[in-house]
């Protein structure tokens, strides 16, 4: 019975501080897990931004090629019209 009373007294005396320490460790683990879980989303977000950037460049290149083709067609058309007249 003496040992049971001693254990109960120790739990009463040190239980709160041990509980706070364990809570602190759990909070640190949660913060670390949140950081790790947010990393893939950051990478995927950067991948999407990069992909959109590349798609915009492709659209601009198509636009420039269309302009160049139209300029060449207009230049050749005017050249042939000048020779036939």
Average pLDDT of span 61-77: 85
Tokens representing residue 19 in the block:
């509980």
Tokens representing residue 48 in the block:
């999407």
Nearest-Å Rg of the Cα atoms of the chain is: 37
Top pLDDT among 56 and 75 is at 56
Tokens representing residue 29 in the block:
């683990």
The pLDDT value recorded for residue 51 is 93
- Kindly report, residue by residue over 35-53, the tens digit of the pLDDT: 877 777 777 888 889 999 9
What is residue 29's three-state secondary structure?
Answer: helix
Average pLDDT of span 4-30: 87
Name the one residue in this structure whose structure tokens are 């009373």. 5
């Amino acid at each position: 019975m003496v040992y049971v009373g001693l254990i109960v007294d120790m739990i009463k005396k040190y239980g709160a501080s041990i509980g706070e320490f364990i809570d602190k460790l759990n909070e640190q683990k949660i913060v670390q897990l949140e950081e790790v879980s947010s990393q893939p989303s950051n990478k995927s977000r950067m991948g999407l931004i990069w992909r959109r950037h590349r798609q915009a460049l492709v659209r601009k290149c198509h636009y420039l090629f269309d302009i160049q083709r139209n300029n060449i067609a207009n230049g050749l058309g005017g050249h042939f019209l000048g020779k036939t007249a």
